A and B are shown apart, each in its own frame.
Chain A
Amino acid sequence: MSSVLYDTPGPRAKRRNVILSVVFVVLLLLLAWWVWSALDDKGQLEWSLWKPFTESEAWTTYLLPGLGETLKAAALAMVIGLPLGAVFGIARLSDHRWVRGVAGTVVEFFRAIPVLLLMLFANEVYARSTDVSTENRPLYAVVTGLVLYNAAVLAEVVRAGILALPKGQTEAAQAVGLRKGQTMRLILLPQAVTAMLPAIVSQLVVIVKDTALGGVMIGFTELLSERATLAANYANVIQSFVVVALIYIVVNFLLTSFASWLEKRLRRSKRSTGAVLGEDTEINPAAIPGTFGTGENTGGGG
């Protein structure tokens, strides 16, 4: 094992690594023992507190319905947010200065605001000026907040995806006489969408995590708020947190794995132009020309 930071270890480095490993294991074991005894001290290791999770009632009454609501909100947010994001992403690449400016301002505005503020605001607007039932309002508010924020993020993903395509694609399209709209619709978007798929799937992880905010702050009955009901019923706060955290980890791990599988597959495929936005692609404002509405876009089409 060699990296830019160190050489392939020789005999002395190997010995040192073994010593470090042993010290590290001892430290980890000490930490584990400390956590275990703290749990034991407070009687948190009692089987009766963990037992509910081996029976179907806890799952069918609380956890699975909660997870269902979480996934429903996440799916709705993505299905509504993606087309909206695509519109704004393409608008930011427009040839018309004012279209670029307006789209850029909207996108930067919603990216700068915490998603919780958007949810609180949407919740209040629905309560005061619409006849959405009290029962449905939390779902509406959560999805609205998530859509506004994630559409702005996805707009940047779409824009980065289109900008990452080789310039020759636009030039070739213009050379065969396609109009601007045709170039975008027939040439750039189809290639950009495949390149963006991994980044879009990993944005789903962010959305799933953000649904938990709605559970605590505006009474959306998703997984985390079902945990509170469950813990109130079985008096197992610590245990319910551990199980709920594990559920989130499994769901998000599956999404992340799917994203990196997609990314690998797309990188391999012969038809791709080589531009793939990875799951780790940072939408770094400094890396994208024209961010913050400075209007120095170099991208083609619109």
Chain B
Amino acid sequence: MPSTYATHPEARDIVFDFISDYDNPTLLGAFWMTVKLTFFSGIGSLVWGTLLAAMRVSPVPLMRGFGTAYVNIVRNIPLTVIILFCSLGLADIFHVTMGASDFKVQGFRLAILGFTAYTAAFVCEALRSGINTVPMGQAEAARAIGLNFTQTLRLIVLPQAFRAVIGPLANVLIALTKNTTVAAAIGVAEAAYLMKQMIENEAQTLLIGAIFAFGFVVLTLPTGLILGWLSKRLAVKR
């Protein structure tokens, strides 16, 4: 007995029906939370990561040491440990509430704090690798034609460094988008949190897997394509 969608349009409604049963969060709401987490953590880690990178390449040995230590420690701790610590340690024991009045907002802000602390280490390394692609000869040539220190940095070194950094930073952003799923561990209602609920309670295992996989492909693929194209276009030809 054939019961395709074509002959029985209501079959599609039955298959996808369960989605509307979930309203805390809704499917779109969960992915919107993923986007928000990525956005705010992305900004935060860009700022903190840039500061760390500045320390790591600074002429002050102590700052270099601090930057190196931070990056090597944070990179080697699982993100799950950091996020869980933000909730069970910072919030529950030290009562760091991040100025939030209710539990949901607090979890959201703590997750951003954790993602920022973790991702900043990778942003720092990406920026540093970008600066390292500028050959020593560039600065030497700049000084040879009489440019002073700020001119050398502003006109010669940094423009090349920024352009070399787009590719590595794009990878960090994509990794961050995927890493925000870890926030499900402290009950932030984002995509993985909703997927766990749905897949445990509904019969359509494969369909649910496909929906959430598709969501992440939609989020990460354009980022990779656009920034990949940009980094190729702006790359300094050597």
Contact = CB atoms under 8 A, between A and B. Distances in A.
Interface in B106-139: 125, 129, 131, 134-136, 138-139
A292 B131 contact: no
B149 A7 contact: yes
B79 interface: yes
Interface string A123-167: 011001000000000000000000000000000000000000000
A20 interface: yes
Nearest to A250: B76
A62 B186 CA distance: 22
Given A112-B220, A117-B192, 6 more contacts: A113-B217, A114-B178, A209-B78, A216-B80, A241-B85, A249-B73
Given A241-B85, A284-B171, A224 B80 contact: yes
A24 B182 contact: no
Interface string B223-235: 0110111011000
Contacts of A4: 131, 134-136, 138-139, 157
Interface stretch (B3-11, B23-31, B56-64): B56-64
Interface residues of A, number: 60
Interface in A1-54: 1, 3-7, 9, 13, 17, 20-21, 24-25, 28, 38, 42, 44
A192 B232 CA distance: 26
Contacts of B135: 4
18 contacts: A44-B93, A109-B213, A112-B216, A114-B179, A115-B178, A117-B181, A117-B191, A120-B196, A121-B209, A208-B78, A209-B79, A241-B84, A245-B77, A245-B85, A248-B78, A280-B129, A284-B171, A286-B232
A282 B60 contact: no
Interface in A189-209: 205, 208-209
A112 B191 CA distance: 14
Contacts of A115: 178
Nearest to A35: B94
B98 to A, nearest CB: 15
Contact of B78 (A212, A282, A292): A212
Contacts of B66: 24, 28
Contacts of B209: 117, 121
Interface in A180-233: 205, 208-213, 215-217, 224
B182 A213 contact: yes
B231 A286 contact: yes
B228 A42 contact: no
A147 to B, nearest CB: 16
B200 A282 contact: no
A24 B94 contact: no
B77 A249 contact: yes
A252 interface: yes
Interface of A: 1, 3-7, 9, 13, 17, 20-21, 24-25, 28, 38, 42, 44, 108-109, 112-117, 120-121, 124-125, 128, 205, 208-213, 215-217, 224, 237-238, 241, 244-245, 248-249, 252-253, 256, 280, 282-287, 291-292
Contacts of A124: 199-200, 205
Given A6-B59, A117-B192, A210 B78 contact: yes
Nearest to A218: B196
A204 to B, nearest CB: 12
Contacts of A252: 75-76
Interface string B170-194: 1100000011011011000001100
B226 to A, nearest CB: 11
A24 B62 contact: yes
Contacts of A3: 57, 136
Interface in B43-77: 57, 59-63, 66, 72-73, 75-77
A44 B220 CA distance: 42
Contact of B212 (A9, A117, A216): A117
